[in-house]
Amino acid sequence: MISCLDVVVTVCTSVAHLAATLGRPTWIMLPYLADWRWLRDRDDSPWYPSARLFRQGASCRYEPVVQTVRAALEARIAGSGTDDA
């Protein structure tokens, strides 16, 4: 089923790892204090080239993260988002 999706939007779960391993564009919403595997101060992953990371700020609120993901999805739908990851 994941292979049929244009992009997978998720939090850090097994679905995120599976989708990214399959090479599907995977957008992962991370908490402010994310797992060490996601490194720091990056919006990509050296382990998953198809992953794009969306991180909480110091406020630890998800509303700004969701707004950023929404804007990226709108850009992708409009055709201005040329980056698959």
Q: What is the pTM of this model?
A: 0.88
Contacts of 69 (CB under 8 A, 6+ apart): 9, 27, 29, 54
Please give the pLDDT value at position 85: 52
Q: Which of 21, 17, 22, 8 has its CA nearest to residue 76?
A: 8
Please give the pLDDT value at position 65: 97
Q: Which of 20, 21, 25 has its CA nearest to residue 5?
A: 25
Check if the beta carbon of residue 26 is closer than 8 Å to that of residue 45: no
Check if the beta carbon of residue 68 is closer than 8 Å to that of residue 29: no
- For residues 47 and 66, give the distance between their C-alpha atoms in angstroms, rounded to a whole number: 24
Q: Which residues of the chain have pLDDT under 70?
A: 80-85
